Structure 1
Amino acid sequence: MEQNILIIGGYGAVGSQIASYLAPLYPHRIIIAGRDFDKARKKAQELTYDVIPQAFDLNHFQDESILDNVKLVIVCLDSNDTRLVEACIRRRIIYLDISARYETLKQIEALENLALFHKSTVILSAGLAPGLTNLLAQQAYNELPLTRSIDIFILLGLGEKHGEQAYRWTFNHIDHHYKVGNVPIKSFTLPLKTDLSGLRNFYTFDFSDQHVLSTLLPNVIVRTRMSFDLNWFTKLTALLRKLGFTRIFRNEKVQNIAINAFNNYSIGTDLFGAKVIARNQNKETKEYTFIGNNEGKVTAAFTTEVALLLLTTANLPYGVLHSQTLIHDIFRFIEKVQSYDNSFRFSKH
């Protein structure tokens, strides 16, 4: 019997793009779900291919019937708990999560033994960061003997429209203290300059890729830094952080005003970029860059290709894995992601 693909958050910006890519390949088998059934139904009608709408609240998950006859679950929302993941593990349903929150990923990583016991597959780190950055870092590590450090640079366009969760996550992490391993780091400090769509400073930021890679790559120092496409905005944010004013970004009312402004006014572009520079003890380097327009689209493209890999691989590994441990031919995978948009460009040095 053919089994369905359930996309949680399937009518959102990224989820609906994933559904649009998968629906022609799996007609009658795509379910898009979210709290607002009317939005799900409207999006399903737009996508055609007999996409199925469902009402589903991820943070109040109790009824497992939505998982009946499902082979793959793709989650495009952050969850407050792991009840859905655990249900998928027990039912041996493949689980794919695009969350960027390391807090969420740590909760899911803790289910490793449960996944191994039930012979289930859970895949994390799908998107730009984490996801594409993990792949580039892994490839650099594979090719550069005695790698000692990996610097990850992420460029985000202020003109791209995001979901509310993404905006709030960014605002909450501008004024933030975190640790990579045992090393304490203050967000939006320790600038490094590199050329990514022009020479600019990048500042420390709490993306999950550095946590995952630091754990999986022994004796390698991994740091992720971010910049915005508008240099003046990046400089202003760094100055406010230095002066101690960025704590205001944690205020919900301030966030509401800012989110409304970003949604209703044009500022910046939809440019995005990811760059990885690995160095070894002999001062040799490996460098990879991926750049383009529409971060949401590259996230959807990456996730779709991971989903296709999961659906077509006969003997999947069991456990809780990150995307870079699943994808063996990294350059070929990146080529497939590139094929989704002419603006996507990949280069290596």
Structure 2
Amino acid sequence: MTGIDIDPKLRYGTGVQEITQPDDVKNVLAEQSVPIAARNKILFGFASGSSDFLPQSAVAVPPESTLTTVTVMQFPDPESAERAAAEFEEADFAVAPDQNERVQLAKYPLAHSHWRPGSPTIGSVVAHGNYVINTFISTSQPDLTALTALVEKVYTAQLPMLDTLTPLSAEQVLRLDIDPEGVIRRVLNPTQLPVPQVGGLAAYELRGFLHWQTDRTAAKNLYANGERFVFSDAYSATTNSYTRGIAQSFGKGIGRFLDGAILIRTRDTDSARALWSAILDAPDTGQAPPNVPDSKCAELPTDRYVKDWICAVRYRNYVGYVWSTQLQDAQQRAAAQYALLANSQ
């Protein structure tokens, strides 16, 4: 779930965090939660941040912003999930027991929630089947009614989505088909990543892809006809911040690697052609890779210490992005991506 599933105003992505081991939990919850996650045998999880403010790297989040961090974690069974949720709450509450105050949610009485009176933040956690959902919200004013209403909107959006997702056992995780639709093998993989990685080598549907986009409303409209989105060394699955465990940890945006690739499979050739035409505003036709049809390149503005060249290619119902810090390298990657698509069966 992204912020636009909660409220259209929360259109900006502010960071993501993968959870593959108990120690990762400290990046989104209180550090005291790590032994709780281990004791209850957490399997995996994912956190995503959203805001009504366009994030900028190395720029403080304005105090008038609204930020939400939603973390979903899977446990082996409902009993361990319920136990973990209650223990997470107690550990977080105990960080400042003399300042925190319990909060009851009218729509979700089984959720564990608390806030500090006078503070514009609230934390909440609830077990739902094998899953534990944790949310931390920061707003411009210490308005408990508004804070609890936003928490309830998070659960109203997130819980039904989890009902459609069958929990996995630890064995099933290991036996998952890593490329059931044959799309991962079609993306350029110059660093030869051997196995799927979150943000590194993986395939997503549209909602999953949106977690990695800064303006999720614009991306949802632009990529509406995309069926699968494949990453290769594309994004960093860690928050770009200097703080941990709070919504503000997800206030500095999503980190894109210096070079990588994204491959998009659209519904049909016409959808791919329309998407290819809409992306890379005002490219220089002289920068397109030689002898590669339906290709174009452009230099993107960046605040990083290196240049940011990106090329796009289209083949049938696929559109590929490749990028690099050098134009010639980006062109060569584009040619390689096109050849890989043309030669794939």
**Structure 2-normalised TM-score?**
0.28
**Structure 1-normalised TM-score?**
0.28
Which structure's residues are more often helix, by fraction? 1
Q: Which has the larger radius of gyration?
A: 2
